[in-house]
């Protein structure tokens, strides 16, 4: 059982639902003499454990703890979205379906992209042929990795970064190369450093903007510079723009859509998880050149065989009717961001670049270098669940990540607890 636990921890590192069953698995005594770990393919051993899950497991059942460790908010999915799923089930939409997603959802996504991002690469409205419905952004990432990399290949990732990038790369048998970003008044990318990390084995650059955990938001000039690099070296860009609408000024963050040509090799990851509070529904999409359609269809067929129709109906309702929910959620997040940033800055001991996008505060605490230990102490001594920065790759050590996508009241209480702990 221990081997299964390790595999689960590695693969489902940020998935709270999976994390809930881990102790049940690990508590089961194993009488087996088989070397189960040795029997698992070496590729699975390349997938490292999640530092977030470690702290999560450590403090999960603490009474009264305020959980800021996982990347999701506290709002349940809006009722009109759930109702669309219920109606679909009542109609009996419980059968196998299109690998690429039902046509109605792909058309809805295309309309949404035109509304939010403007013309498609090359002009005109976005077309459904570019969009492939997946089991969340995570599945879109898995497919993107399969499309661009395999054993012996390298993928460059600016870091600190969402740990699942490394996990997906390892599962594809490839190697991730972290390029530490520069912290300051804002997080930024050193393009020369990025260029220096490219070798003959490099196949792609992952660009997560706005970024988890730092809130890094690439400017148009930075996006253009990365695109230029990818063109010169013939590399793919995997553009994770899932937090593109979680911005505290304007309608959306700058996007590769603003600078790309139709022939640029860019794969976009998107999800319904964050904008529409649907983390548990597991639905997102991959945007790719239409010529890749048959290959992506196969990748979906041989992994998940498609996304349940009733969930796709819910996604249509979310995208078509969810703008006021997005606006309300954002104004709540903004209040929470201001509370936590103001309160922690006032302690004089917490350093951070104020996040202008996404919903994470990535901060360091004076005198606290070992943030894995710090995260456990905050569980024990302050009733706070935070993610240790070491979980986010090179450049993350020395930081902690706090997700502030919760009610302003709860974030005020979390801030009060943290400040009191620092002043003790
Ligand atoms: N990309 C980033 C940067 C994320 O932080 C997440 C989730 O936390 C995802 C993608 C994928 O989300 P999901 O698989 O829930 O769609």
38-84: pLDDT as tens digits: 898 888 887 877 788 889 999 988 999 999 999 999 999 999 999 99
Q: Are strands 266-271 and 284-287 parallel, antiparallel or unpaired?
A: antiparallel
- C-alpha 29 to ligand 1 mean position (Å): 34
Same domain, 111 and 199: yes
Q: Whose CA is nearest to atom 11 of ligand 1?
A: 137
- Which CATH number is 294's domain given? 3.40.640.10
Same domain, 335 and 304: no
Q: pLDDT by residue (tens digit) across 258-294?
A: 999 999 999 999 999 999 999 999 999 999 999 999 9
Q: pLDDT by residue (tens digit) across 329-350?
A: 999 999 999 999 999 999 999 9
Q: Is residue 85 part of a domain?
A: no
Final residue of a structural domain among 268, 296, 321: 321
16 lines ligand 1 (CB under 6 A): no
Tokens at 365, concatenated: 């605490």
279 lines ligand 1 (CB under 6 A): yes
Same domain, 114 and 16: no
Same domain, 308 and 199: yes
Q: Is residue 125 part of a domain?
A: yes
Same domain, 70 and 135: no
Residue carrying the six token digits 């661009």: 148
Q: Is residue 58 part of a domain?
A: yes
Nearest CA among 158, 103, 157, 116 for reference residue 316? 103
Residue carrying the six token digits 């230990």: 373
Residue range(s) defining the domain that contains residue 114? 91-321
- Which CATH number is 384's domain given? 3.90.1150.10
Final residue of a structural domain among 321, 344, 366: 321
Same domain, 225 and 172: yes
- C-alpha 36 to ligand 1 mean position (Å): 31
| Best probe residue, ligand 1, of 157, 212, 213 (max atoms within 8 Å of C-beta) | 212
Closest atom of ligand 1 relative to the 136 alpha carbon: 16
271 lines ligand 1 (CB under 6 A): yes
What would the mean pLDDT of 94-123 be, rounded to a whole number? 97
Final residue of a structural domain among 267, 296, 321: 321
Q: Whose CA is nearest to atom 3 of ligand 1?
A: 212
Residue 208's beta-bridge partner residues? 240
Answer whether residue 24 shows pLDDT above 70.
no
Measured at the CA of 360, the angle between CA 359 and CA 365, to 5 degrees, comes to 155
Q: Whose CA is nearest to atom 7 of ligand 1?
A: 71
Closest atom of ligand 1 relative to the 137 alpha carbon: 16
Q: Is 51 exposed, middle or buried (0-12, 13-18, 19+ CB in 10 A)?
A: buried
User: Which DSSP string do the residues of 225-292 spell out, in sequence order?
Assistant: HHHHHHHHHT-EEEEE-TTTT-BSSSSS---GGGT--TTS-EEEEEESTTTTT-GGG--EEEE--GGG
Question: Which DSSP symbol is given to 213?
Answer: T
What would the mean pLDDT of 177-199 be, rounded to a whole number? 95
Same domain, 71 and 97: no
The CA radius of gyration of the chain, in Å to the nearest whole number, is 21
Cβ distance 176 to 169 under 8 Å? yes
Q: Is residue 82 part of a domain?
A: no
What would the mean pLDDT of 168-187 be, rounded to a whole number? 94
| Best probe residue, ligand 1, of 242, 245, 391 (max atoms within 8 Å of C-beta) | 242
Closest atom of ligand 1 relative to the 208 alpha carbon: 3
- C-alpha 360 to ligand 1 mean position (Å): 13
273 lines ligand 1 (CB under 6 A): yes
Tokens at 76, concatenated: 């349940």
Residue 159's beta-bridge partner residues? 180
Same domain, 68 and 110: no
Q: How far is CA 205 from the centre of its chain?
A: 16
Q: How many distinct structural domains can be found in the chain?
A: 3
284 lines ligand 1 (CB under 6 A): yes
315 lines ligand 1 (CB under 6 A): no
Q: Please give the Cα distance from 292 to 140 (Å, whole number).
A: 14
Q: Is residue 83 part of a domain?
A: no
Answer whether residue 25 shows pLDDT above 50.
no
Residue 385's beta-bridge partner residues? 67
Same domain, 376 and 306: no
Residue 268's beta-bridge partner residues? 239, 287
Cβ distance 41 to 10 under 8 Å? no
Q: Is residue 68 part of a domain?
A: yes
Answer whether residue 6 shows pLDDT above 70.
no
Closest atom of ligand 1 relative to the 284 alpha carbon: 16
Same domain, 161 and 280: yes
Helices of type H across 149-219:
163-171, 191-196
Q: Whose CA is nearest to atom 12 of ligand 1?
A: 137
Same domain, 258 and 360: no
Answer whether residue 15 shows pLDDT above 70.
no
């Amino acid at each position: 059982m221990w081997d299964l636990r390790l595999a689960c921890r590695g693969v489902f590192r940020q998935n709270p639902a999976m994390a809930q069953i881990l102790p049940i698995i690990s508590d089961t005594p194993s009488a087996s003499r088989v070397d189960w770990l040795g029997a698992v393919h070496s590729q699975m051993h390349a997938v490292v454990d999640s530092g977030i899950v470690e702290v999560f497991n450590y403090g999960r059942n603490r009474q009264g703890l305020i959980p800021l460790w996982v990347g999701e908010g506290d709002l349940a999915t809006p009722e009109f979205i759930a109702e669309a799923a219920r109606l679909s089930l009542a109609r009996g939409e419980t059968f196998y379906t299109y690998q690429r997603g039902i046509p109605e959802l792909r058309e809805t996504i295309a309309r949404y992209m035109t509304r939010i991002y403007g013309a498609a690469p090359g002009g005109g409205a976005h077309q459904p042929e570019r969009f492939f419905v997946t089991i969340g952004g995570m599945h879109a990432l898995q497919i993107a990795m399969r499309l661009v990399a395999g054993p012996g290949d390298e993928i460059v990732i600016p870091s600190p970064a969402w740990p699942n990038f490394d996990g997906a790369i390892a599962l594809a048998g490839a190697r991730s190369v972290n390029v530490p970003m520069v912290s300051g008044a804002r997080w930024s990318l050193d393009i020369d450093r990025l260029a220096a990390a490219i070798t003959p084995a490099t196949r792609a650059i992952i660009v997560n903007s706005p970024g988890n955990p730092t809130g890094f938001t690439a400017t148009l000039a930075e996006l253009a510079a990365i695109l230029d690099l990818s063109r010169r070296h013939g590399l793919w860009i995997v553009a994770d723009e899932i937090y593109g609408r979680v911005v505290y000024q304007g309608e959306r963050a700058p996007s590769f859509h603003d600078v790309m040509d139709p022939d640029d090799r860019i794969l976009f990851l998107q999800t319904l998880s964050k904008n529409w509070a649907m983390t548990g529904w597991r639905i997102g999409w991959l945007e790719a050149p239409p010529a890749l359609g048959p290959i992506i269809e196969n990748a979906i067929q041989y992994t998940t065989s498609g996304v349940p129709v009733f969930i796709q109906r819910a996604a249509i309702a979310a995208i078509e009717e969810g703008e006021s929910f997005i606006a309300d959620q954002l104004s709540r997040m903004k209040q929470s961001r201001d509370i936590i940033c103001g309160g922690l800055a006032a302690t004089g001991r917490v350093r951070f670049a104020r996040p202008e996008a996404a919903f994470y505060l990535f901060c360091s605490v004076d005198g606290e270098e070992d943030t894995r230990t710090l995260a456990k102490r905050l569980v024990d001594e302050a009733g706070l669940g935070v993610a240790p920065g070491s979980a986010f790759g090179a450049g993350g050590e020395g930081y902690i990540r706090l997700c502030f996508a919760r009610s302003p009241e709860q974030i005020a209480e979390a801030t009060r607890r943290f400040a009191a702990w620092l002043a003790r």
